[in-house]
Chain A
Amino acid sequence: MAFWNEAIETMPRAELEKLQMNLLKKQVRAMYGQSKFFHDRMRDAGMHPDDVTDRDSFRKVPFMKKTDLRDNYPDKLFVRPYEELARIHVSSGTTGLPTVVGYTQHDLDEWSESLARGMASFGMSSRDLLQNYHGYGLFTGGLGVHQAAEKLGASVLPTSTGNTARQVQLMMDLPVTACAGTPSYLFHIADTFDGMGKDIRKDTKVRLAIAGGEPWSESMRNKIQERTGIKVHNCYGASEFYGPMFLECEKQRGAHVWADICYIEILDKDGELCADGERGEMVVTMLNKEAFPLIRYRIGDISALDWTKCECGRTHPRLMRLSGRTDDMLIVRGINVFPSQIESVIGEARFLSPFYHITLDNKNYMDNMVIEVELDESRLTEDTVELGNMARSIEARMKDVLNLKTTVKLMLPGTLKRFEGKAQHVTDNRNYD
């Protein structure tokens, strides 16, 4: 399997870790000088960049949290002026305020470099035609995968999401060999092939897929691979990093996290570094990011990092499948949803009580979100048209805020369960087996 950047990708571990540490120190020093946010944080913690000499002492640098992104909305964490930026992406944030991410041209190039290495690692090349059904626009998936595939020399069919019948038709009519998007949408495409009486194995040339943006499992991978004959590679990333970033190689044993681009700490409950392969909270530092730096960012995912040398020859550590979240964030159809966003919509609607309940399922591998909201007693009416309008108006508002189609069920006053203490707002019936 060809390497995209063989010297870096196969660098011996000791050398690689030395490089990583040097980049880390350099980035901490640079941000101490350039970013008021990081400068103040380090100063308030009574530390100086010179204190960072190794992995242990790096842990003196305070964490960066999701609330820091919200508190610095929209662009107070940017350390470059707009004239030096090349692009802006926007993703959903925690409380109705989105996360705005700026990129310099260097940032876009490094993002593409990361994905191009990953694409090459599972055998994608300039001979491939990639159908990209990630959403194009503010979401990082569409343009991120697009630009990386172009950098690799592959050609791209930018279908974006939706219109599945047309996706299927194009996949059959054109010599598409690879595809990218959420795993659930790949299932949906497979269903649509069946529904149209077509066979994705015989009627297309697709052999490789990138799947990410939402939680999924090994058994889901086995199922989709068996069903379609397509080899599916997991992708990990987040808009705060750049976007989708790290891909599995042909061995499909965890995404290679490029140690010269990103440093991931896995911490136990006491904030201590976990042993190799042990699960814990991921804390992410981007080593060369220019416009929107990320140092010791608590992304909220739980996973493990495995430095064991991969059979593919790459020395960079592999990230195991995510096994949970440290917060209440939900990932629905690849979109981050925070219960606090739902609360803000409900709070605006004067005809609703503050109580709600979210139920998730994934029948036919498509995530479905039902939000039960409760009518305020004073607004109880027999007017079914008005009741319908109330429910639909909340659905429309949810679509605006969450960027996600949901079903809103209006419930009678006093009928949603009241909880003492931390409310259990979510029933997740999604099954990944």
Chain B
Amino acid sequence: MDDENIITQLSIFVNNEPGRLAGVASILKDANVNMKECNLAESTEFGILRALVDDPEEAFERIRSRGLIAKKTAIIGVRIEDAPGALFSAASVLGRAGINIEYGYAYAGKNVEAFLIRVDDPGKAVLALKAAGVPLVKRSEI
């Protein structure tokens, strides 16, 4: 997956217990992991902290070595600043292509504003969105 439009997100899982998230934040600080974006998802089962970081591969190793449970997840970003309705067209394109959106969240960085989405088949999604002319975020822009 060396597609420049595919972004690696770290998903850090915590048990739903009081104080767990504070523990994670402290471990990330100790591991010197700089988060550009983070998003907290709550389910009845686990808390999932989704983060975009400078060097996901290295951050992943550092996090895991400190006993946190994490996964690398491929996501894609639909640019929203210069194309009103981009999210709607992205969703329509993906729907027509039979690609399921699992979750998404907004991102506003220095270089780009986007809606980041997790789909069940990122490679296929990128191809479909590009073919339909939906503007995508490059990994280097995050």
Q: Check A387/B69 contact, CB under 8 A, given A382-B103, A412-B14, A415-B15.
A: no
Indicate if the CB atoms of A388 and B43 lie closer than 8 Å: yes
Q: Which residue of B lies closest to A383 (CB)?
A: B102
Is B71 close to A, CB under 8 A? yes
Which of the 9-residue segments B44-52, B88-96, B127-135 touches chain A? B44-52
CB neighbours (8 Å) of B97 from chain A are none
Is B118 close to A, CB under 8 A? yes
**Min C-beta distance of A349 to chain B, whole Å:** 14
Contact of A414 among B44, B45, B69, B71 (CB under 8 A): B69
Q: Which residue of B lies closest to A392 (CB)?
A: B44
The complex places the Cα of A391 from the Cα of B45 at a distance, in Å, of 8
Indicate if the CB atoms of A412 and B69 lie closer than 8 Å: yes
Is A370 close to B, CB under 8 A? no
The complex places the Cα of A380 from the Cα of B102 at a distance, in Å, of 15
Is B31 close to A, CB under 8 A? no
Is B8 close to A, CB under 8 A? no
Is B83 close to A, CB under 8 A? no
Which residues of chain B from 31 to 61 have a CB within 8 Å of any chain A CB?
41, 43-46, 48
Query: With A384-B43, A388-B43, A388-B45 given, can you name 6 additional A-B contacts, CB distance below 8 Å?
Result: A384-B44, A387-B43, A390-B45, A410-B46, A411-B15, A415-B69
Is B107 close to A, CB under 8 A? no
Is A413 close to B, CB under 8 A? yes
Indicate if the CB atoms of A413 and B69 lie closer than 8 Å: yes
Interface band, chain A: 10 to 19
Contact of A384 among B14, B45, B73 (CB under 8 A): B45
A-B contact pairs, 23 of them (CB 8 A): A382-B41, A382-B48, A382-B71, A382-B73, A382-B102, A384-B43, A384-B48, A387-B44, A388-B43, A388-B44, A388-B45, A390-B45, A391-B44, A409-B45, A410-B45, A410-B46, A411-B15, A412-B13, A412-B15, A412-B46, A412-B69, A413-B69, A414-B69
- Proximity bits, B63-88, A CB within 8 Å = 1, else 0: 00000010101000000000000000
Is B11 close to A, CB under 8 A? yes
CB neighbours (8 Å) of B14 from chain A are 412
CB neighbours (8 Å) of A415 from chain B are 15, 69
CB neighbours (8 Å) of B73 from chain A are 382
The complex places the Cα of A411 from the Cα of B44 at a distance, in Å, of 11
Q: Which residue of B lies closest to A391 (CB)?
A: B45
CB neighbours (8 Å) of B11 from chain A are 382
**Min C-beta distance of A86 to chain B, whole Å:** 47
Q: Which residue of B lies closest to A372 (CB)?
A: B15
Q: Which residue of A lies closest to B103 (CB)?
A: A382
CB neighbours (8 Å) of A387 from chain B are 43-46
CB neighbours (8 Å) of A391 from chain B are 44-45
**Min C-beta distance of A281 to chain B, whole Å:** 39
Which residues of chain A from 354 to 390 have a CB within 8 Å of any chain B CB?
380, 382-384, 387-388, 390
Q: Which residue of A lies closest to B11 (CB)?
A: A382
Q: Which residue of B lies closest to A413 (CB)?
A: B69
Contact of A380 among B16, B41, B71 (CB under 8 A): B71
Which residues of chain A from 22 to 66 have a CB within 8 Å of any chain B CB?
none
Indicate if the CB atoms of B13 and A380 lie closer than 8 Å: yes
- Proximity bits, B101-116, A CB within 8 Å = 1, else 0: 0110000000000000
The complex places the Cα of A411 from the Cα of B45 at a distance, in Å, of 7
CB neighbours (8 Å) of B103 from chain A are 382
**Min C-beta distance of A176 to chain B, whole Å:** 41
The complex places the Cα of A151 from the Cα of B13 at a distance, in Å, of 61
**Min C-beta distance of A328 to chain B, whole Å:** 25
Most B C-beta atoms less than 10 A away, residue of A380, A382, A390, A409? A382
Q: Which residue of A lies closest to B44 (CB)?
A: A388
**Min C-beta distance of A83 to chain B, whole Å:** 52
The complex places the Cα of A326 from the Cα of B18 at a distance, in Å, of 36
**Min C-beta distance of A418 to chain B, whole Å:** 14
CB neighbours (8 Å) of B44 from chain A are 384, 387-388, 391
CB neighbours (8 Å) of B13 from chain A are 380, 412
The complex places the Cα of A387 from the Cα of B48 at a distance, in Å, of 12
Q: Check A384/B41 contact, CB under 8 A, given A411-B15, A412-B15, A415-B15.
A: yes
The complex places the Cα of A382 from the Cα of B47 at a distance, in Å, of 10
The complex places the Cα of A402 from the Cα of B51 at a distance, in Å, of 41
Most A C-beta atoms less than 10 A away, residue of B13, B48, B118? B13
**Min C-beta distance of B120 to chain A, whole Å:** 10
Q: Which residue of B lies closest to A388 (CB)?
A: B44
Indicate if the CB atoms of A380 and B45 lie closer than 8 Å: no
Indicate if the CB atoms of A380 and B43 lie closer than 8 Å: no
Q: Which residue of B lies closest to A408 (CB)?
A: B45
**Min C-beta distance of B68 to chain A, whole Å:** 10
The complex places the Cα of A100 from the Cα of B50 at a distance, in Å, of 52
